[in-house]
Amino acid sequence: LHKSPDHRNLVLPKPLLAALRGELTPRVPIWLMRQAGRYLPEYREIRARTPRFFERCYTPELVVEITLQPVRRFGMDGAILFSDILVVVDALGGEVEILEGRGPVVEPLADARALERLSAERLRPHLEPVYEAVRLLARALPERITLIGFAGAPWTLAAYMVEGETSRDFHRARRLARAEPDLFARLIGLLIDATSDHLMAQIEAGAEAVQIFDSWAGLLPETEFERWCVRPVLAVAERVKARHPAVPVIVFPRGVGAGYRRFRDEPAVDGLSLDATVPLLWAREELAGVCLQGNLDPIALLAGGAVVERETDRILDALAGRPFVFNLGHGVLPETDPAEVQALVERVQRLRPPIDPARHRPAGEAPDDRP
Ligand code: CP3
């Protein structure tokens, strides 16, 4: 696989795992959400040969190849399993497809009868090819690179299941949650079982860290946020930690603003992934005690060059002196030039002289006179 320049191995065997465990790493580890996918010509080639999305997800050799593609090219510190949050919905028996140019299409779940047809029993047998891929990857990856498993959070999965397709505001899903909270709570309960089981199966197959994607958490107002995002996500994280206490859990509650604070003091949450709107100096103060991850705007990669350099340095400076994982604020966009990703990874991975936080302040921050 990737022949890494020596400096990448100088430090710890796995800088990403070290940071997620709260260690200050001599250089900042990096991986990118959606680092595998359509912006890579080698992915598009596989897609042309195997056009059904779920067929790609359920063929272990393809999953291994697609997962390794970005790591081979760019040498990130993490390899995220190529899969999708919706494989869990498929495994439960929800009719789901991912169509080119349209995204996910799901048979909308509207009543208790539809809910009763779903079953968590099929989960492990149905997703066995995914776990087989994880086992193969655990063997294939170089020692420096951390294998990341993932699942969708219950709210985000429920949002697709009720809405039936992607949406700007998920009206139908939010209406069902308000109008029939007991039914919605049963759906969320089933998804807590399914996603925690899916994460544990990935860990048992060799995943070394896991991320819970709550991509639509930002749509929920305060009380709904607590009920449908915070509590279910913590339930999943706690179940995983009870069985696998050493495996870091990263939570990505996209778009929740000050709601990020709800995850900062939770023993089951090791990493908190910030979307691009979160002010970093606020996060530095308010979200101490957890490893932060993020938060370059994926659009900056489309502008490229100096825009990426300036933003990258600003992010690295803002989180200097803290355990930190460099990532985007959301996934890599299909229009992204792979050369920009290459330059980004190189910039983050080059060894910078350790910054003394007492002497170094990000631009614009007032001097700190406290003892
Ligand atoms: O990050 C990675 O490289 C691993 C693979 C991965 C995919 N989906 C592959 C994929 C991951 C981690 C996901 C997560 C995912 N899937 C999320 C959470 C993260 C986020 O983006 O908010 C969500 C909401 C989904 C659901 C989903 N899957 C959508 C909305 C779409 C269509 C939008 C799009 O980008 O096309 C997908 C399809 C999908 N999942 C693709 C890939 C590579 C593109 C389809 C294709 O390759 O043909």
Lookup: tokens for 115: 């809910």
Q: Does residue 80 register a pLDDT over 50?
A: yes
**Cβ atoms of residues 94 and 107 within 8 Å:** yes
| Å from CA of 145 to ligand 1 middle | 22
Closest ligand 1 atom number to CA of residue 150? 12
| Å from CA of 318 to ligand 1 middle | 29
Give 222-267 pLDDT, tens digit per residue.
999 999 999 999 999 999 999 999 999 999 999 999 999 999 999 9
Q: Measured from the CB, is residue 56 less than 6 Å from ligand 1? A: no
- In this predicted structure, what is the pLDDT of residue 101? 87
Catalytically active residues are: 34, 38, 47, 84, 160
State the pLDDT confidence band at 367, using cuts at 50, 70 and 90: very low
- In this predicted structure, what is the pLDDT of residue 59? 98
State the pLDDT confidence band at 368, using cuts at 50, 70 and 90: very low
Q: Give the residue whose CA is nearest to atom 20 of ligand 1.
A: 215
The bridge status of strand 103-106 relative to strand 249-253 is unpaired
| Å from CA of 15 to ligand 1 middle | 26
Q: Measured from the CB, is residue 35 less than 6 Å from ligand 1? A: yes
Give 315-339 pLDDT, tens digit per residue.
999 999 999 999 999 999 999 999 9
Lookup: tokens for 304: 């490229």
DSSP conformational letter for 219: G
- In this predicted structure, what is the pLDDT of residue 222? 96
β-strand partners of 80 = 148
Closest ligand 1 atom number to CA of residue 36? 3
Q: Give the residue whose CA is nearest to atom 11 of ligand 1.
A: 84
Per-residue pLDDT averaged across 100-104, rounded?
92
Give 271-317 pLDDT, tens digit per residue.
999 999 999 999 999 999 999 999 999 999 999 999 999 999 999 99
Q: Measured from the CB, is residue 103 less than 6 Å from ligand 1? A: yes
| Å from CA of 189 to ligand 1 middle | 24
Nearest to 154 by CA among 175, 177, 133, 131: 177
Give 211-221 pLDDT, tens digit per residue.
999 999 999 99
Closest ligand 1 atom number to CA of residue 53? 48
Give 50-78 pLDDT, tens digit per residue.
999 999 999 999 999 999 999 999 999 99
**Cβ atoms of residues 341 and 26 within 8 Å:** no
Q: What is the mean pLDDT of the chain?
A: 93
| Å from CA of 213 to ligand 1 middle | 11
Closest ligand 1 atom number to CA of residue 166? 30
pTM, entire model: 0.93
- In this predicted structure, what is the pLDDT of residue 129? 98
Give 141-185 pLDDT, tens digit per residue.
999 999 999 999 999 999 999 999 999 999 999 999 999 999 999
Q: Does residue 370 register a pLDDT over 90?
A: no
The bridge status of strand 291-296 relative to strand 324-328 is parallel
Per-residue pLDDT averaged across 107-122, rounded?
94
